[in-house]
């Protein structure tokens, strides 16, 4: 007997001969059954509070080791990806409220709920005010300068 909390969301991509387009089906499966799925299925293990998009990408890279599936995160770039994740977080206080205001109504509600859950505060309180705004801007400027220095020193080429 399994509980709803013991499930993961899965998306199945049919690998049978094409009939015009691949079929996508989403459903919740028990965790044990998800792991037992054939190679033609992708188990998207994304859930709030447990896994990040990077964890999901790494999982898919491990599962899809076929030549026709390009890697989502290039081999040997995990340290660089982690560095960008750390420096990228400094912009959140400035962009989170903006994302909510420029999105369509349905996306706006979703983003507002997502940011409030992720940051642990109301979206109106995310944008820094007065001295906190100056401090947050300085932090963001320093983080962007660090990334710029990586590019300028030739340690990153692209």
pTM, to two decimals: 0.38
Of the listed ranges 1-10, 22-31, 32-41, 82-91, the least confidently predicted one is 32-41
CA gap 29, 125 in Å, rounded: 38
Please tell me the predicted confidence (pLDDT) of residue 48.
40
**pLDDT > 50? residue 111:** yes
**pLDDT > 50? residue 31:** no
Contact 36, 20 (CB under 8 A): no
Of the listed ranges 1-15, 59-73, 93-107, 122-136, the least confidently predicted one is 1-15
User: Quick one: what percent of the chain has pLDDT higher than 70?
Assistant: 52
Ranked by mean pLDDT, the top range of 31-35, 52-56, 80-84, 116-120 is 116-120
The class level of CATH for 78-152 reads mainly alpha
pLDDT, tens only, 37-74? 433 333 333 334 445 666 777 777 777 666 677 777 77
For residue 18, give both structure tokens. 């094409």
CA gap 69, 78 in Å, rounded: 19
Spacing of C-alpha 21 from chain mean position = 27
pLDDT, tens only, 119-141? 788 777 777 788 888 888 888 88
Going from N- to C-terminal start, the domains of the chain cover 4-63, 78-152
Which CA distances in Å does 62 have to 27, 34, 71, 76, 81?
22, 15, 9, 14, 17
């Amino acid at each position: 007997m399994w509980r709803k909390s013991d499930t993961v969301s899965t998306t199945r991509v049919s690998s049978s001969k094409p009939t015009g387009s691949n079929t996508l089906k989403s459903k919740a499966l028990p965790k044990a059954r998800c792991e037992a799925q054939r190679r033609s299925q992708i188990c998207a293990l994304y859930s709030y509070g447990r896994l990040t998009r990077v964890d999901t990408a790494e999982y898919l890279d491990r599962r899809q080791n076929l030549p026709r599936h390009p890697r989502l995160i290039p081999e040997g770039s995990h340290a660089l990806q982690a560095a960008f994740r750390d420096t990228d977080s400094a912009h959140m206080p400035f962009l989170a409220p903006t994302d909510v205001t420029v999105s369509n109504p349905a996306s706006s509600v979703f983003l507002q709920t997502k940011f409030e859950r992720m940051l642990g505060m109301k979206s109106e309180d995310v944008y820094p005010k007065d001295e906190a705004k100056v401090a947050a801007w300085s932090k963001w400027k320093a983080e962007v300068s660090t990334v710029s220095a990586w590019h300028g020193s030739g340690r990153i080429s692209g």
